[in-house]
Structure formats: structure tokens, C-alpha cells
Amino acid sequence: MNILRKRAMENNPRQPFDVSTLPNVSTLETEMQDVVSTLLSTVSAEQVHAEIGKVSAEAVEATFKTAAHALEELGNELRDRMRAIEQLTGEMSEALKTINDLVNDYREAGKVQAAKIEAASQMTAEVRKACEDMRVKLGEVNK
């Protein structure tokens, strides 16, 4: 046990719970019955029924108002989300267009590079042939 807690228990020993301090349940029930019977004796049954109907109608109306307010909030949230989605859709469309443009640029650059390589290869073949022709001519001269 914690030393501080032990000291606190020694200085303030706990007292057992005293049931006699609680109000008597039968006394409370009697008082409630007296109040209800007093109210019912001063009001007619039709008035009680009308009042109960009025209170029920007010409760139902309040519930529906709360539900309507919650639905309005949900609609506002949905509207905000739709706007965000529309904005993202526009941004993604622009990004997709940029990517497609980049793809086309790369294709064109690839074609240009392939043409340059083809031209260099052809020029290399022509140089090789010219060199071979020169070797043949030089070989004939040196004989």
C-alpha cells in the first residue's frame, strides 16, 4: 500500500455507510401519491387528456425539429463535400491533361532521337564503306 494512502487511512478512518440517513421510500411514495391525487382532483379527465396530448404533440414537434436540423446539417456537409470533390475533379483533370501532354512530348522526343540514331548509323555505314574503299584503293596503289 502506498505510504501516503496508509497515513491518510490512519488519520481519517472510514465510517461505515449509515442507511438511516436515506429518506424512507414508503414516505416518498406516499408524498407522490398525494401530489398526483391532488392534481387529478382539481383537473377534469378531459383536461388531463388534452394536456397530455398537448405535451405529447410538443415533444413530437421538438423531436421532428431536431431531426430536421440534423438533416440540414447533413445536407450542408454533403454540399461542402461535393464542392471539394468538384474542385479535386477539376484539378485532377488538369493533372491528367498535363500527363497526357508529357506522354506525347516523350513520344515525339523518342521519334526525334530514333531518327538521329538512324541518321548516325547510316552515316557510320557510309564512312565505313568510304574507308573500305580507300583501303582497297591504297592496297592497289601499294602493290
Residue scoring higher pLDDT (138 or 109): 109
What is the maximal distance between C-alpha atoms in the chain?
A: 148
The cell numbers describing 106, all together, are 516523350
Distance between CA atoms of residues 63 and 56, nearest Å: 10
Torsion angle of the four alpha carbons 33, 38, 40, 44, in this order, in degrees rounded to the nearest 10: 170
**Which of 97, 98, 74 has its CA nearest to residue 82?**
74
Q: Does residue 13 carry a pLDDT above 70?
A: no
Percent of the chain scored above 90 by pLDDT?
43
- pLDDT attached to residue 23: 53
Q: Does residue 70 carry a pLDDT above 70?
A: yes
CA dist list (Å): 123 to 68, 91, 120, 130: 81, 48, 5, 10
User: Per mean pLDDT, which range of 3-7, 43-47, 54-58, 103-107 is the poorest?
Assistant: 3-7
Span 75-94, average pLDDT = 92
What is the value of pTM for the model shown? 0.41
CB atoms within 10 A of CB 30: 11
pLDDT band at 139 (very low <50, low <70, confident <90, very high): confident
